[in-house]
Amino acid sequence: MSMGERRRRRRLAAAATVGGLMFATAACGSGSDSAGSSDPNTLEVWTRSNPDSAATYDRVFAAFTRKTGIKIDYQPVVNFDQQLQSRASTKDLPDVMINDTALMGSYQSQGLLKPIDPASIAGGDQITPKSWSSTVGVDGKHYGIPYSRQAQTLMIRKDWLRKLGLKAPTTWQEMLSVAKAFVTRDPDGDGKADTYGIVAPASAQNGYAAWWGASFLWQGGAQIIQSAGNGKYTPAMDSAAAVHAVTWMKDNLFCGEKGVVQPGAITAVTGTATNFQDGNAGMYMTGPYNITTFDATPGKDTYEVVPAPAGPAGGDALADGEDVYLGAKTGKDRQERALAAFLISTEGQKIAMTSVDGHQPVVRIPVNSTLDAAKVRNDVRWSVVQKAYEDASEQFPNAPDFAPIKQDTADSLNSIFTYCGGDVRSRLKELNDTLAGDLKDQDLLK
């Protein structure tokens, strides 16, 4: 079976799943007699969280209950989508969910979400139009309330730069030169050839190659898909800009000098791409959630946070974040809107942005425009992240179900980076045809 046929079967299977979920959730709007909905003054709230971030949410929800008297049945869920589909099949959704912005199109297409009028959320006018825009579905309605935002920046070993007499890179070429110096000039001073330039979680698994590689695409002037107006899209990965950007990545990062990216990069996901905190790689283009991790190891004094190096089209990096979603059921609109208003308020955002007992904050860049991340955290590094989000970032299109699009893009990029002798232009043309199929399956192809 060809790669295109395998992708086609996966798309059709995904479409069947969506159809089944839409059927299963059709009755959710009428309400159901579940434990989560039995008490009108209790909201069942899910987040995609491990115990560390769940502890921060506990503080947020406790403050909300003290303020309003509305109780929260809080459930941190690691396998969020699997559990959500299970609940959808029983026609009983959580009242409120907090999860990635990129999932909005998928959830909305499955009929899992309640549309939202931004004017009905107290404090919604303190959220910028850029953040609100990421919650608009293909029908022009809002299906989420922005909660947290972030943009990727470059984490770089400043002690290595000092030792080698180098400066933080501002362009692709400078980044490549620094990476090669980190490989060849013994920046850790141990006399061994055991250091690497750039951490790259470039596995196809869960779409990582597309997630990590997106910043390079934006910086090269490429898009994965682009809006054609009227809720329709066209694939764009066969453009000259995309061919140039992907060719640069292949030739210089994965198929060039050994060690520019860490060994095993093409099979690495974020959980296994630990070379920066392990102390043997010098750069990592990643999200600001890693600041807390990296402050512990390799240590706050060893690295700095700088803007993403610019490519031919500029320095835009991937932006993403999390939204508050309201489950497609009725009966608790007032309580749900009250929780959403608290979550985006200065009080709610500040609690979620601060770490207590070392627990991970759950709001990175505040969506409340009256707040400054660096001032709240008393950490100037966060001004770099906030400026990156506000002035130099792009996000995946969230109105379509982007999951199959991201996965097919990751499959293609990973294959290109793995087989160095392949023709990039022809491989991207094949990807473009696959993306056209993804859009057609969702009735979004122009």
Token output for 223: 């898009």
pLDDT at 316: 98
Q: What confidence tier does 32 reach under pLDDT thresholds 50, 70, 90?
A: very low
Token output for 290: 């890693």
pLDDT at 15: 45
pLDDT at 9: 56
Please write the tens of the pLDDT for every residue from 106-121: 999 999 999 999 999 9
pLDDT at 70: 98
C-alpha dihedral sign at 364, 156, 263, 171? positive
CA–CA separation, 438 vs 412, rounded Å? Answer: 14
- Tell me the average pLDDT across 270-284: 97
CA–CA separation, 431 vs 326, rounded Å? Answer: 34
Please write the tens of the pLDDT for every residue from 169-227: 999 999 999 999 999 999 999 999 999 999 999 999 999 999 999 999 999 999 999 99
Please write the tens of the pLDDT for every residue from 113-150: 999 999 999 999 999 999 999 999 999 999 999 999 99
The fraction of the chain above a pLDDT of 90, given in percent, is 87
- Tell me the average pLDDT across 270-283: 97
Closest CA to 248 of 314, 173, 142, 184: 173
How would you label 296-324 residue by residue, b for 16+ Cβ within 10 Å and e otherwise? eebeeeebbbbbbbbbeeebbbbbbbbbb
Q: Tell me how many degrees the CA angle 62-52-262 measures, rounded to the nearest 5.
A: 150
**Phi then psi for 368, rounded to 5 degrees?**
-75, 115
pLDDT at 35: 42
CA–CA separation, 64 vs 92, rounded Å? Answer: 24
Please write the tens of the pLDDT for every residue from 12-30: 554 444 444 443 333 343 3
Give kind and range of the element (H or E) at residue 427. Answer: helix 424-441
* Alpha-carbon separation of residue 297 from 20, 293, 363, 392 (angstroms): 45, 7, 22, 28
Please write the tens of the pLDDT for every residue from 377-419: 999 999 999 999 999 999 999 999 999 999 999 999 999 999 9
Q: What confidence tier does 10 reach under pLDDT thresholds 50, 70, 90?
A: low
pLDDT at 329: 78
Q: What residue type is assigned to position 410 of the chain?
A: A
Strands 196-199 and 281-286, by their bridges, are: parallel
Q: What confidence tier does 88 reach under pLDDT thresholds 50, 70, 90?
A: very high
* Alpha-carbon separation of residue 436 from 68, 241, 282 (angstroms): 48, 18, 38
pLDDT at 29: 37
Please write the tens of the pLDDT for every residue from 230-246: 999 999 999 999 999 99
Contacts of 344 (CB under 8 A, 6+ apart): 121, 123, 124, 126, 127, 145, 146, 147, 324, 367, 368
Q: What confidence tier does 289 reach under pLDDT thresholds 50, 70, 90?
A: very high
Mean pLDDT of the chain: 92
Asked if the model's pLDDT at residue 1 lies above 80, the reply is no
Please write the tens of the pLDDT for every residue from 312-355: 999 999 999 999 999 997 679 999 999 999 999 999 999 999 98
pLDDT at 445: 98
Taken in order of first residue, the domains within the chain and their CATH numbers are 42-151+320-394 (3.40.190.10), 153-318+401-442 (3.40.190.10)
Neighbours of 292 (CB within 10 A): 15
pLDDT at 132: 96
In the three-class reduction of DSSP (H, G, I as helix; E, B as strand; rest coil), residue 97 is classed as strand
* Contact in structure between 193 and 285 (CB atoms under 8 Å): no
Q: What is the pTM of this model?
A: 0.90
